Amino acid sequence: MDFSLDEAQWEEDWAALLSLAAQPGASLEQLHVFALAHVLRRPIVVYGVKFVKSFRGEALGYARFEGVYLPLLWDAAFCDKSPLALGYTRGHFSALVPLEPYVDPVRGAAPLADDGHRRLA
């Protein structure tokens, strides 16, 4: 997959993200979830809707958060192996936790696929 970005493109993308982060009330980006995975030193799995909709049900835009975020910049020995599961809908994140603790780890496992059986990226 011989893909690479030149330095100018990296700088432009970084400046756009910094500008967005500086705006009060601005929405999160995928980079924020990736950074949180590194702060927590723990994988984050986000399950979510494909489109953000208004209160009338109109599609406002594509929700880009669904996926698996790994703390790849840390050595694996320093990271917690159990992922944090989050749900994303209507512009908000929610923690996904079981109602009661599972003794059987297979029953407590979360799938790494969406409702269409496609792997989370």
68-82 pLDDT, tens digit per residue, is 999 998 999 999 988
94 inside domain: yes
- C-alpha 23/C-alpha 83 separation (Å) is 30
45 inside domain: yes
79 inside domain: yes
117 inside domain: no
* pTM of the complete model: 0.73
35 inside domain: no
CA distances from 11 to 14, 15, 35, 69, 116 (A): 5, 6, 18, 22, 36
Q: How many domains does the chain have?
A: 1
- Classify burial at 119, counting beta carbons within 10 Å of its beta carbon; exposed 0-12, middle 13-18, buried 19 or more: exposed
Mean pLDDT is highest, among 1-5, 50-54, 78-82, 108-112, for: 78-82
74 inside domain: yes
The DSSP H or E segment spanning 45 is: strand 44-48
- C-alpha 23/C-alpha 53 separation (Å) is 22
Domain boundaries, position 55: 41-111
29 inside domain: no
